[in-house]
Amino acid sequence: FGAQGPGTSPELIVHNAKVTTQDTSRPQAEAIAFRDGKITAVGSNQEVLKSKGRSTRLIDAKGRRLIPGLNDSHLHAIRGGRFYSFELRWDGVPSLKVALDRVREQAKRTPKGQWIRVIGGWTPHQFAERRMPTPKELTLAAPDTPVYVLYLYSTAIVNRKGVEELGITKHSMAPAGGRYELGADGEPTGRLLAEPNPTILYQTLAELGEPSSEEKLSGTRHFYRELNRFGITSALDAGGGGHRFPAHYDGTARLAQTADMPVRISFHLFAQEPGAELKEFQDWVAAHEVQQNLAPTLAHGYELEGGGETLVTSAVDFENFRAPRPPLPERFRPELERVTNLLISKRWSLRIHATYDESASQILDVFESVDRTERDAGRLGFKSVRWAFDHGETLGGTSIGRIKALGGGVMVQNRMAFAGEDFIERYGRAMAAHAPPLRALLDAGVPVGAGTDATRVSSYNPWLALYWMVSGKSVGGAQLLDERNRLTRDEALHLYTLGSAWFSNEEEVKGRIAVGQFADFALLSHDYFAVPLETVRAIESVLTVVNGRVVYG
């Protein structure tokens, strides 16, 4: 429970709830109270209501499920807010016909000089038609407005107006690892293909135009409210290609200076310049402190954690399952070793993208070498920081044991819920059944956080990720994870709360409904633990609270 002294009655009490506390000393409760951004009491309705003061606000939950606020451990949140006002989303759209109708409607109100942008969060397998739009269909829907549709990091589809605006001709040279598709007539079709390098997709996106500072602030406000709508109260931001710090971070940076910051963001810095990553990190380390709160009105509101998810470009294995697995070039070893040495010596946490076990194994060779050097010098090495692999779809048992021995964790996302069918076509159902190896990671005692990799891959809707971990199914209904590799609802929720908090050193202040924890929670539209599994995908929050303040209701 908890105790209040004179003049310390709670500001708000939520009662008559089914509270999932994730506190082993009291797993369930009926009511919570909080003051000054912290939980002050947890218990039965009778116990908590005794603490009510004259000014205490009461909210009757009417029997709804209350959970700790969700924490996405791999969300490109800052970049998502930067572009949110410029994007048309197809998240959850049931048919290609409806998707094209949305393009048609958007064309009526898109200002001259702007693009219609559909950037991730969808898969053709969610459509009744089970296919992607064609460039011709996009042209018919928006003949006079350029349209750019991105599917994962494998393909972009551009209408005829878009091809003209980009100046793509049959003579255009694509970036290395990419291709402009040509038709039977030798002319560009409007398809841009990553084979497997997504540079062609990144570079084209950069040509579509940058929002103004005010548009970024507005987009960030709207996007973070969207996250709150689903019960998200925290996120670990993974940077992004073409997303430069600090220039492109101003939407979130400005919002963090106000009392309206509605999501706690911990962010990592993503190297941008191939071959010059060490210089980038040297400059960042010299100019910035890690774990320094940059949000004056919200504890742990906006904090730099360290480096990643790209530390060096040469160590990235592109997750385009429509193309063969790319081998890492030999130069990645010295490049990664230099950057890793710097970050570990300065006690900057790090995270690194690794889709395939083959890549993770080679990266671990470098990490273990750096760790030995650090320990030989009398320092703690990797165990002085929280560090992680991102993704890890095909991690094997040996690599999992090495991660555990080095004190690291793995942040998993539901990318397979959107790309699983492509994965099956290339690697087969047997590999898809344990991609990623959720059960093996938990059984090995490796810290695991859950997330989405939104917004350019998965949807930012966390309930699709929770559904995927429990059901093992893609959004198109394909059975991916086998029964042994699926999680219980309790386990999945744990990864999306306490599990994610480990990676930012915040497991002592968030992820539980307990006295002294941050007052971050969500009251749900449906009881996550009681509804049929298919209904989990439809859950939203009816009341989201961050730091004791209602941010969505």
Write down the pLDDT at residue 1. Answer: 62
Distance, in Å, from the CA atom of 253 to the CA atom of 296, rounded to the nearest integer, reads 11
Instruction: Return the H-helix or E-strand segment holding 95.
Output: none
Over residues 229-280, the pLDDT tens digits come to: 999 999 999 999 999 999 999 999 999 999 999 999 999 999 999 999 999 9
Phi and psi for 509 in degrees, rounded to 5?
-125, -10
Distance, in Å, from the CA atom of 515 to the CA atom of 43, rounded to the nearest integer, reads 10
Write down the pLDDT at residue 8. Answer: 83
The 3-state DSSP composition of the chain as helix, strand, coil percent (nearest 5) reads 35, 20, 45
Over residues 40-66, the pLDDT tens digits come to: 999 999 999 999 999 999 999 999 999
Q: Is 409 left (phi over 0), alpha (psi -120 to 50) or beta?
A: beta
Among 6-10, 261-265, 310-314, whose mean pLDDT is lowest?
A: 6-10
Distance, in Å, from the CA atom of 288 to the CA atom of 214, rounded to the nearest integer, reads 25
Query: Residue 163: which pLDDT band, with cuts at 50, 70 and 90?
Result: very high
